[in-house]
Structure 1
Amino acid sequence: MAETVALAFGAWLHPSLLLILGTLAIPFLRGRVQQGYRLLLALVFLWVVWTIAPGTYGSLRFLGLDLVAGRVDTLSLVFAYVFSLITVIGTIYSLHVKDNVQHVAAFLYAAAAVGVVLAGDLVTLYVFWELMMLASVWLIWRRRTPQSYAAGMRYLLVHSASGMLLLGGIALFYFQTGSLAFEQIDIAGPAFYLILIGFMINAAVPPLHAWLSDAYPEATVTGAIFLSALTTKTAVYVLIRGFPGTELLIWMGAVMALWGVVYAVLANDIRRLLAYHIISQVGYMVAGVGMGTAIALNGSAAHAFTHILYKALLFMGAGAVIHMTGKSKLTELGGLYKYMPYTFLLYMIGAFSISAFPLFSGFVSKTMVLEAAAVDYRMWIWLMLSMASAGTFLHTGLKLPYFTFLGKDSGRRPQEAPWNMLLAMAIAAFFCVFIGVYPAWLYGLLPAPVDYNAYTLDHLFWELQLLLFTGLGFFVLLKHVGGEARISLDTDWLYRRALPATARRVRDRGGAAWQGLLTLARRGIAGFVTGLARHHGPGSLLAGTWPTGSMVLWVAIILAGSLLIYYV
């Protein structure tokens, strides 16, 4: 067996294995040496991923199962490319952080994400899927607050459920088909739905989404960059691979897109607002998967690529504000553009990208999904996604920057963010503009040939019109769109409030009932003992009547009963 594995991997080193092994040295390094090593490791990881040739690698037979650790094609590569790129950007952004646990967790998380998109079988996918969960939760816990610990525990429970569903689905799939190959899952029965639900949880599809808006705002400033980029997008990849054309996903994606922007209206925490817009933007990708056409699947992959970069840029801008001010509420911020002008400028590039402004990356990917809905004659889906696009600009492009950087001066006088944070933001901003100006570069990476032009008069006119009227509405209603100092519970109300309250009520009522039962039992036992003492004690009637004591009486009674039973 060992010889088989060695032959299978002899000519190829899995990028995830490279990053995992390289991570082992991080705890033993200090200072600038460690900073340089982490950056070098991330760059080598990027180079290895971008130089992989399409093909099948790491095939082996283990315990009677045919496993493929490295299936490299155009679909897996487009996700692996951007995962490795964001690993470099996130590493630069975190150079100033002195927390080995956080650095190790981030690299293991990135390695696991690439492992998922390169997995050629469901068992390998499951192993990396679980490694993602175990690594990513530390990026929440390492903020070291009571809120982050509680959010991390809830995150862990939800994703453990996802893993259990996925494992159960894989087992049923294998028993039903005799194969573990990870291709389109088109069988009928429980296996199909168990695997689909496991994937949908990680994609944050409502009502299975609240873990994201619960956990991401509580993560560390640098850890949130990796979180915003990896978990939901690996879920988009597996949905594209395993469930293209699943009609249910079209409507679930459209609901996601609107759900996120509606709850962003209620958000006061800047990272919670951005987290809800992750749900909204992933909705476009999920809807594209459900449509299943070539342009729709290309649009989902392209939007995942651009989303990782501009969403990371937005989280980096928000993280820089939190790092320099210690505040994260819209109601506590304002007027920061004077003191953090570069952060403000770079954030706005991300805001223009997510809002699908022409010449920015979101425009060339989001309009592709909208076009897929239009050419497929899905009018209501197109309308719902367009409405969500307006909401995105309203909150991420206008509300958050206005009340954070502009608006009423909060009296805070922070310094500009550290150079490494600004450099990481600048790299992400460059790609947001580069892809928007030259979309052919991104289109050339997509899994199917692209016959689409984002810069037609129809697309430009519609998008500019949408943005113009959204901006006008924002300033007309400016007094009513600001943040409010409150937390709005989502479906997580069920496990944050309802279930604990129910458990406490059951415990309290059950405790009272149990005490009643114990009281009755004690009284019954006491009465029984008292009766025995009254009839069989030294001064009892029986003891006084028969000098030989009650034992002879009971022996006689038992003997008579036995004879009666025997003869009857």
Structure 2
Amino acid sequence: MFDLMQINPGLWVVIAGVICALIPKTGATGFLRKILVLGAPILAGALIYQMYFGQDIGSDGVIGGKLLFGGIELTTLRIDRLSLVWGFLFCLAGVINAIYGLHEKCRITDSSALVYTGAAIAGVLAGDMITLFIFWELTAISSVFLIWKGGEHAYAAGLRYLAIHVLSGVMLLAGAVMFARANGGDFTFGYIGLDAPGGLLLLLAMGIKCGFPMLHMWMQDAYPKASITGTVILASFTTKFAIYALARAFPGTDILIWIGCIMTCFPVFFAVVENDLRRVLAYSLNNQLGFMVAGIGIGTTMAMNGVVGQVFVHVIFKGLLFMSIGAVMYRTGTAKASELGGLFRSMPFTAVLCLIGAGSIAAFPLLAAFVTKSMILAAAVEEHLYIPFLMMLFASAGVMEHSGIKVPHFTFFAHDSGRRVKEAPWNMLVAMSLAAILCIVLAWPWGGYQMLYALMPYETDYKPYTVDHVVFQMQLLFAAIFAFTLLKRFKLYPAERRAEILDADWLYRKVGLNIALWGSAMWTRLGANITRLRDATLGKAGKRLYQTFSPAGGLSQSTPSGLPAALIAGVLVLVLVLEYITP
């Protein structure tokens, strides 16, 4: 019998996305498409709530959707304390993104956004690695269209994005097969660890998707080239999907502490000199992901709670920042810091909302990250990881500089660019306002942050609003503000220039290309030399054989006609003797 409660809720969002692709983009049917884009994530969230809270569940949560595929038992639905948070979060992000994109008339954007959202929801609710792989790849395939809608310069970036994410999926599948073969064919997605067969491949596959150092550049390459709405949607799902997979498979893996700390630090230097503000936010995304990766590496209950909380608020405040810069780009046609400034006069509401997002990512008291990031830092101190703590402390000051100050300063204040434009469209303001309200409510000291803590996988009695924590955080933030002001006052802050900042992708796209071209030339030259040598050698040997054995050759002229028959008979006798004596 058909049971709705056995179907992964994300699948309904994917189906809605496919239907969207078939609905024309104009008239009443266009309105119907927007209802689907907005309603499908709400339906998925309601189903997740009903599945988890509306029935008696076991200690392992909701397990369902079992089916056989090629002799492998798949568990296509699992909702437990970990996946529940990501499921609700992705549904919430889908709704906010849908409101932000209500002005879009593009059928491809609406369809891709829904399929992408649904694949991310379905992926975090998957109970086995085959189902995980299917939706892992579907997120890549569906999201690339959001990049290609960015214009003529986006096509190559989209191809690179697709290639690296397909590579990630292939590595994920290979690692899953190796792991399952060593475990009796069991593809259940749970703790794996680095020492397990296929563990390294799985870690690298997830590392590509969440931007490990030297594997991160696809974000800075693709996100700024996507469409305005597409960039907001892209920032919500892919990397957080990968963080979920890491949290599920590799908690307490020590190497992740150092990988995460490096991720928090290196983007600070790139973001300071970057002119494209969407690229600045992409580097900031790397920075914030580093805190999550480091927390997973620490692996204690406090650290894991901090990771879950940081993921939840990060999707909201990072989306708010991308939405505010997207609104500016929608009205001005650019996101270059060198071409903006003074926009608070004509876009005051967007400016205020951007400042809330900036304060949230910088972890100002009473704003989102203040109640989550500190849990990861406290966990590092509890485990006596003082060097990682100092690295993350430096990165916290850095994110205040580039996302908390630089983005709103050069967009809305700084020099006056002379642009006088309209305020953002109403739907963009509504979406940004919802995100801003959540940034405040989820950090509110009188009952707000407890709602967020109630979603965490482990019970916690952590109190973020202590005198020591508030004073220490304010000292750190004001020190960053003072440093920025001082550098600007004495003209030591890097000027905003129209320039392309080289990143690690230069090694792949330039040096790597030259190495490939050199290798191809050497291979061609080697092949030509081998051919020349073969022709010369075989030519001389063939000529000598022809002179000896041809009808006009010397052997034919001087040898009796019966000798060849005698030689053949002798060889036959030799073969028969060898066959007889060989055991």
Equivalent-residue separation in structure 1 for 2:553 and 2:484 (angstroms): 98
- Residues 403, 482 of structure 1: 8 Å contact kept: no
Instruction: Tell me whether 1:442 sits opposite 2:442 in the alignment.
Output: no
Equivalent-residue separation in structure 1 for 2:553 and 2:35 (angstroms): 94
Local SS of the residue matching 1:58: strand
Instruction: Tell me whether 1:237 sits opposite 2:244 in the alignment.
Output: yes
1:261-287 deviation digits (Å, cap 9, x = unpaired): 222122111111100111110111111
Aligned to 1:463: 473
| Cα shift at 1:496 | 1.3
Equivalent-residue separation in structure 2 for 1:509 and 1:485 (angstroms): 38
| Cα shift at 1:381 | 1.3
Amino acid at match of 1:155: Y
Pair 1:25–1:10, CA change in 2 (3 A): closer
- Residues 65, 77 of structure 2: 8 Å contact kept: yes
Pair 1:14–1:519, CA change in 2 (3 A): closer
Local SS of the residue matching 1:97: coil
Q: Which of 477, 487, 494 is the equivalent residue of 1:477?
A: 487
- Residues 42, 88 of structure 1: 8 Å contact kept: yes
Local SS of the residue matching 2:195: coil
Pair 1:406–1:515, CA change in 2 (3 A): same
| Cα shift at 1:39 | 2.1
Q: Which of 377, 382, 390 is the equivalent residue of 1:375?
A: 382
Aligned to 1:214: 221
- Residues 474, 481 of structure 1: 8 Å contact kept: no
Equivalent-residue separation in structure 2 for 1:105 and 1:99 (angstroms): 10
Moved more, 230-239 or 519-528: 519-528
Pair 1:99–1:386, CA change in 2 (3 A): same
Matches within 5 A, 1:5-404: 9=3, 11-26=5-20, 27-29=22-24, 30=26, 31-53=30-52, 54-146=61-153, 148-178=154-184, 179-186=186-193, 188-404=195-411
1:471-516 deviation digits (Å, cap 9, x = unpaired): 0110110132342322222221121111112223344555566677
Equivalent-residue separation in structure 1 for 2:558 and 2:211 (angstroms): 74
Number of residue pairs matched? Answer: 547
Local SS of the residue matching 1:477: helix
Pair 1:552–1:62, CA change in 2 (3 A): closer
Equivalent-residue separation in structure 2 for 1:160 and 1:351 (angstroms): 33
Pair 1:524–1:74, CA change in 2 (3 A): closer
| Cα shift at 1:45 | 2.9
Matches within 5 A, 1:504-519: 504-508=517-521
Equivalent-residue separation in structure 2 for 1:98 and 1:398 (angstroms): 34
Aligned to 2:515: 502
Equivalent-residue separation in structure 1 for 2:305 and 2:428 (angstroms): 32
Aligned to 1:543: none
Instruction: Tell me whether 1:490 sits opposite 2:503 in the alignment.
Output: yes
Moved more, 292-301 or 206-215: 206-215
| Cα shift at 1:64 | 2.5
Equivalent-residue separation in structure 1 for 2:397 and 2:236 (angstroms): 23
| Cα shift at 1:518 | 7.4
Aligned to 1:546: none
Equivalent-residue separation in structure 1 for 2:78 and 2:43 (angstroms): 20
Equivalent-residue separation in structure 1 for 2:176 and 2:437 (angstroms): 41
Consecutive unaligned residues in structure 2, runs of 5 or more: 53-60, 572-583
1:111-166 deviation digits (Å, cap 9, x = unpaired): 111111111111111111111111111111121323x1111111111112211111
Equivalent-residue separation in structure 1 for 2:146 and 2:440 (angstroms): 29
- Residues 38, 94 of structure 2: 8 Å contact kept: no
Amino acid at match of 2:46: W
Equivalent-residue separation in structure 2 for 1:415 and 1:525 (angstroms): 80
Pair 1:186–1:36, CA change in 2 (3 A): closer
| Cα shift at 1:67 | 1.4
Local SS of the residue matching 1:52: helix
1:436-488 deviation digits (Å, cap 9, x = unpaired): 11100100111111110111111101100001111011011013234232222
Equivalent-residue separation in structure 1 for 2:408 and 2:147 (angstroms): 25
- Residues 42, 91 of structure 1: 8 Å contact kept: no
Instruction: Tell me whether 1:409 sits opposite 2:380 in the alignment.
Output: no
Local SS of the residue matching 2:182: helix
Local SS of the residue matching 1:71: strand
C-alpha RMSD of matched pairs (Å): 2.7
Pair 1:565–1:37, CA change in 2 (3 A): same
- Residues 362, 404 of structure 2: 8 Å contact kept: yes
- Residues 453, 460 of structure 2: 8 Å contact kept: yes
- Residues 64, 78 of structure 2: 8 Å contact kept: yes
| Cα shift at 1:189 | 4.3
Equivalent-residue separation in structure 2 for 1:151 and 1:552 (angstroms): 67
Moved more, 187-196 or 271-280: 187-196
Local SS of the residue matching 2:442: helix
Local SS of the residue matching 2:421: coil
Q: Which of 414, 433, 442 is the equivalent residue of 2:440?
A: 433
1:386-407 deviation digits (Å, cap 9, x = unpaired): 1101000101111121111111
Equivalent-residue separation in structure 2 for 1:557 and 1:207 (angstroms): 74
- Residues 49, 84 of structure 1: 8 Å contact kept: no
| Cα shift at 1:17 | 1.6
| Cα shift at 1:521 | 8.6
1:45-83 deviation digits (Å, cap 9, x = unpaired): 333334331411212333322211111111111111110
TM-score by length of 2: 0.88
Moved more, 507-516 or 59-68: 507-516
Equivalent-residue separation in structure 2 for 1:296 and 1:514 (angstroms): 57
| Cα shift at 1:319 | 0.9
| Cα shift at 1:526 | 11
| Cα shift at 1:195 | 1.1
| Cα shift at 1:412 | 2.2
Equivalent-residue separation in structure 2 for 1:19 and 1:55 (angstroms): 20
